[in-house]
Amino acid sequence: MAVKVLAIVLAGGEGKRLLPLTADRAKPGVPFGGIYRLIDFVLSNLANGGYLKIVVLTQYKSHSLDRHISKTWRMSTLLGNYVTPVPAQQRLGPRWFAGSADAIYQSLNLINDEAPDYVIVFGADHIYRMNPQQMVQDHIASGASVTVAGIRQPKSMADQFGVIEVGADGRRISAFREKPKETEGLPDAPDEIFASMGNYVFSTRALCEAVSRDAADPDSKHDMGGNIIPMLVEKGEANVYDFRDNEVPGSTERDRGYWRDVGTLDSFYEAHMDLISTLPVFNLYNHEWPIYTNYGSWPPAKFVHGYEGRQGRAVDSMISPGVVVSGALVERSVVSPRTRINSWAHVEGSVLMDGVDVGRNAIIRNAIIDKNVVIPPGMEIGVDLERDRKRFTVSDAGIVVIGKNHRIDPDE
């Protein structure tokens, strides 16, 4: 008989480093790639892998995330499948989730009700494709209590990740360290390390025992990576799964093994730029492993005006349904539904979210513009960063970010 697997997606992240994009929504609910939300990527991986019983644990400003899940992720109830958001319910007292491990501890009733053999625990805010079925099979074959997905990164970048150190066999985890300044390389690649992807497969009993033990520790931060995994590493019961071994149908050599943590404004922007090259680093056009979403009943994108000096056109860009490019030029950009870019405007190297209106003769360069922002005619954004810092958010790399529903004074 097939093993029973329950998937738990941790989607309670506040995402402070993504402000102002997370000022009004949870990090997993942030729009991405024109028509998607960040959470669509992990849910698509699970659904494509055949895991159709999915619990999404939410907490921080989760309304838009809950609404997106309820409108988009509907499974066949006839077959007992579901994707359900579960907020902090204060089942164990008047308190919210104190960390990712505590979120699971407070939700043990969900595991008990489903009685799975194994539990997948994945994060909700990474951009990647992965076949989780192969990781589950690897976990079962290993006999470990937990298997942690690891992606190979240069050893010089160890201080940017949670690092998985392994024994001589390259599989058993010997230590789990957070952003170490010095670490050992891999047995088969001394110049590389395993960075934790924040994805885990647990044997059910081991997970329940670990989070229960952790809950009784007043000094714990109740974090999956910081507390639960080190606990099982110390017992010699944790293995690593090499993401390099994961085979996704339809992937190409260029986009195979892609994974990006979009935890900062700059990484969020860079992940968008990865989508739009001729041979994209992350390929949204892999129809054998689709990324699912629901973006409404919008008409096709439209490009109008075609005479000299006033041509509606887009180059090296992704243009969503419902967009009107009216006598404007769009270059190297991702444009979301219902956005209108008016005559003689120039949008370059930017991400425009749903419902943005760009006025005539405006210039937008290297920017992220959140939903429903109106750019006044003739305004320049991303041209004078010193001026932009006085009125908007500007990232470390010089990306100008304007938050949702921001009303811009034309005289700014």
Residue 89 pLDDT exceeds 70: no
Q: What are 345-371's pLDDT values in tens digits?
A: 999 999 999 999 999 999 999 999 999
Q: Tell me the binding residues for alpha-D-glucose 1-phosphate.
A: 162, 178-179, 196
In a domain, 254, yes or no: yes
Does residue 120 share a domain with residue 243? yes
SS3 201: strand
Instruction: Give, in order, the Cα–Cα distances in Å from 82 to each of 6, 55, 339.
Output: 10, 8, 33
Nearest Cα to Cα of residue 193 among 160, 169, 225: 160
Question: Residue 14: its pLDDT value, please?
Answer: 76
In one-letter notation, the amino acid at residue 21 is L
The number of residues in the chain equals: 412
Q: Tell me the binding residues.
A: 162, 178-179, 196
Domain that holds residue 219: 5-270
Question: Residue 167: its pLDDT value, please?
Answer: 93
Question: Residue 62: its pLDDT value, please?
Answer: 81
Q: Are strands 36-37 and 53-58 parallel, antiparallel or unpaired?
A: unpaired
Domain CATH code at residue 317 = 2.160.10.10
Domain CATH code at residue 28 = 3.90.550.10
Two tokens, residue 112: 């008990």
Does residue 56 share a domain with residue 158? yes
Contacts of 29 (CB under 8 A, 6+ apart): 37, 38, 39, 62, 64, 65, 68
In a domain, 70, yes or no: yes
Choice among 61-65, 279-283, 379-383 with the minimum mean pLDDT: 61-65
Question: Residues 383, 362: contact at Cβ < 8 Å?
Answer: no
Domain final residue, candidates 270, 291, 324: 270
In a domain, 409, yes or no: no
Two tokens, residue 277: 């090259």
Question: Residue 49: its pLDDT value, please?
Answer: 96
Does residue 142 share a domain with residue 92? yes
Residue 1 pLDDT exceeds 80: no
Nearest Cα to Cα of residue 224 among 122, 312, 110, 309: 122
Q: What are 386-398's pLDDT values in tens digits?
A: 999 999 999 999 9
Q: What are 109-168's pLDDT values in tens digits?
A: 999 999 999 999 999 989 999 999 999 999 999 999 999 999 999 999 999 899 999 999
Does residue 218 share a domain with residue 127? yes
Residue burial 322-360, b: 16+ Cβ < 10 Å; e: rest: bbbbbbbbbbbbbbbbbbbbbbbbbbbbbbbbbbbbbbb
In a domain, 13, yes or no: yes
In a domain, 284, yes or no: no
Question: Residue 178: its pLDDT value, please?
Answer: 87
Q: What are 161-199's pLDDT values in tens digits?
A: 999 999 999 999 999 998 899 898 999 999 999 999 999
In a domain, 390, yes or no: yes
Residue 61 or 58, more confident = 58
In a domain, 282, yes or no: no
In a domain, 280, yes or no: no
How buried is residue 217: exposed, middle or buried, by Cβ count under 10 Å (0-12/13-18/19+)? exposed
- Could you give the number of structural domains in the chain? 2
Does residue 150 share a domain with residue 259? yes
Does residue 367 share a domain with residue 226? no
How buried is residue 75: exposed, middle or buried, by Cβ count under 10 Å (0-12/13-18/19+)? middle
Does residue 253 share a domain with residue 143? yes
Does residue 49 share a domain with residue 133? yes
In one-letter notation, the amino acid at residue 210 is A
